[in-house]
Amino acid sequence: MSLQIFPLFYKNEGKKIGLKTYPDATVKAVLRECGTLKYSKTYKCWYLPYEKAVFNQLKQQFTTLQIVETSNALVQTEPLAHHTDIASTSATVKTIKTDEEATPYLRIVAYENRGWLVHCSYDVGKKLKQELTKVVWLKDKQRWFVPARKGYFAKLKSITGWEVPLLSFDQHIPRNETVKMSVHPEKKEFVLVQLPYHAIAYQIIKSTKSRYYDKGKKCWRIINQYSIREGLAEKFKAAGITVEIPEEVYANTVKEGKYQHIKQNEDWIESLSATLQTVFMQYTDALMLRQYSWNTVKNYRLAFKEYCDAFAEQHPDAIAPAQAQAWLTRKVKEGWGESVMVTMICALRFYYIQIQRRKDWEFYLPFPRKSEKLPQVLSSKEVKSLFDAVDNLKHKTMLLFGYAAGLRVSEVASLQIKNIDSQRMVINIKAAKGKKDRCVMLSGTLLDVLRLYYKAYQPKTWLFEGQFDDHYSTRSIQAIFQAAKHKAGIRKDVSFHSLRHSFATHLHEAGTDIRIIQELLGHNSSKTTERYTHVSNRTIQRVLSPLDTLLK
């Protein structure tokens, strides 16, 4: 057997032995005998430890061992090179030179009027990365990309000492859309930004420092500093979007430097080519037009980006269905789970079938078979020990809502005071999963705890308030549950959602009709609710094990 390898610098772990070709099952078995075989999603290749013993094993197992130069290898420059035993003892190892070693001169060229490509030494590139933000290394071009931002023309010229080519920008077509700014009614140091429902406006706000989506006001929020506010307004105007700023906003301007700790947010779309940026804008617009949730928009876009990256940022229309199917098959072999596959299939089907109307893609993008897993349920004693392990009244009330009403963690986090109807003893759940409203019962015990909580914390809008007048994050509630689980000594592999499973199971064990449980949980189909009959002891305990009869 023959094998092609190359030196690979893998993240912070140092040098590795990369495999040029994708190994089949037979070659993998041989490679695992030589050392610990792993797969890198970053560099899209398999690799082994860079050790002398591993290299000697490879020479013994393979008749032909060829060390090749490849663009996938992340090769470092001479000051950071590590000379190991492999390089010194093997006569077949080639010395791989980088572009900086082969051509030590500088070269700066304009790139799609979005910035500059800089061909330079490692030291100059490191200085660019340190002094300028959003400077990235383009692996396919082996160059540094410096985006066109305010002051970067002069800074790039100062750092490199070379002339920097000028950029020319086309005029944007006006879209007759308006962005409205207003002062936050409770916190005057913030400005509320109401955006038109358009992908370009969304991209601009996402690349702005200190932006935050206010779920209570259903709009974006920024700090009312002159630099942030006016910088955002200039970006909107450059995109052909009108900006309305009332006098009240100018009157409540915050002093510069008050919020210097807030980091600038980056968006990966800016690093894409101009063609793919247009594709992703159209893709985002289509998702928004169909009123998908922000989480769905984010997940679909990230999945679609990974798909484009796998094909070297080709235009998606240039990828054949058989190529996409082969790539998905390879990902399954690499260990992709069912949920990841479903997200990727949905993202691709949305682009090719919903947007491009390519019905032939349905055959190549089938959904994976669903696994039938039973829900993890806690016993009544375990639920009580879980609540007893929590001392904080706010944290305990969150957990009580999950069990007493069978709420999801997102539903607990987004509860508002107006959703609690103590007169009718119901909890109104608004815009839950699938944008569905429903009502669940309000436990009398829960109401007593809730009144104590209200007196102690005095919430205003959200029942469980977090930072910036927004509701408590779902991630924090999950962490509260895990801490209580460990403190109570529960060893089951359960999460906050297990409280919802326990709610439904315990109701069924108490004799509640399955149809009523379906309504309380908000399930569309009774088949979804029928899962709890498989874990309920309502019928299981009535069956006598044959072992009990045998040993009597």
Q: Which residues are catalytic?
A: 408, 433, 497, 500, 523, 532
Map tokens 């801490």 to a residue. 483
Residues 432, 437: Cα–Cα separation, whole Å: 6
Which whole-number Å values give the CA distances from 327 to 17, 190, 332, 464, in the listed order? 24, 46, 9, 44
Side by side, the strands of the sheet bearing 45-49 are 38-40, 45-49, 15-19, 2-9, 64-67
The tokens for 502 are 């326990």
Number of H helices, E strands in the chain: 24, 17
Q: Is 344 helix (H, G, I), strand (E, B) or coil?
A: helix
Residue type at position 150 = K
Residues 248, 231: Cα–Cα separation, whole Å: 18
What length is written for the chain? Answer: 552
CB 365 within 8 A of CB 352: yes
> Beta partners for 241?
177
Residue 469 DSSP symbol: G
CA 73, 77, 80: angle at the middle one, nearest 5?
Answer: 105
What is the pairing mode between strands 143-147 and 136-138? antiparallel
Give the number of C-alpha atoms closer than 13 A to the C-alpha of residue 231, restricted to the C-beta side.
Answer: 16
Residues 297, 342: Cα–Cα separation, whole Å: 15
* CB neighbourhood size of 79 (10 A): 9
Spell out the alpha helix ranges (H) of 79-151: 85-89, 99-102, 122-131
CA 392, 394, 396: angle at the middle one, nearest 5?
Answer: 65
Give the number of C-alpha atoms closer than 13 A to the C-alpha of residue 448, restricted to the C-beta side.
Answer: 2
Residue 371 DSSP symbol: P
Residue 146: phi and psi, rounded to 5, are: -110, 115
Closest CA to 86 of 31, 23, 15: 15
Residues 170, 15: Cα–Cα separation, whole Å: 45
CB 349 within 8 A of CB 363: no
The tokens for 539 are 């019928």
CB 145 within 8 A of CB 135: yes
